Amino acid sequence: MCLFPGSSGLVLAVAPGSDVDKWRQYVLYVTVAHLLLGVLNLISGNVWDGIFDLLGAGIGFYGCRQAERIQPTMILCYVVFVIMDCFWACLNSLLLIAGVKDLSGPGWQQNLYRGVTYASVFFYTIAIYTSYKLYKLLQHQFNTTMGDGGA
């Protein structure tokens, strides 16, 4: 399960300076931005999205926090997580643009909610690309190490 660090079974080590290590660092930067997005969602009154963003940031961070212990299944879980987040952010953005979604709270909170919702679509697109790229590099490393008969 990807919600429990260390429970994925497969753990890969990454050579310093390799492409995999470079993309691992990019995913760490993305997870820090994901954490910030979660906090902004909480401040804007979007509690559920904020909680799920914090959960997603944790999954991404724990999956690749150490170069010696990258967990590909947690990275794949993070990929799926941000794909779903991107879908919901696109849906919320369309509802806001169409004027269908009613917002409550003070004006600054409504403006923050709109800004975070629109910006999150862009962020999730970057998060999908970087995490998927890392996953594919890890998959290639695993297949190369174990031979073509690997997963």
pLDDT digits (tens, 9 = 90+) for 22-54: 999 999 999 999 999 999 999 999 899 999 999
CA dihedral (52, 131, 84, 42) positive or negative: positive
Instruction: Enter the tokens of residue 72.
Output: 């590909």
The rounded distance, in Å, linking the Cα atoms of 66 and 60 is 12
Q: Which amino acid type is present at position 50?
A: G
Identify whether the C-beta of residue 64 lies closer than 8 Å to the C-beta of residue 11. Answer: no
Predicted confidence (pLDDT) per residue in 84-133, tens digit: 999 999 999 999 999 898 888 899 999 999 999 999 999 999 999 999 99
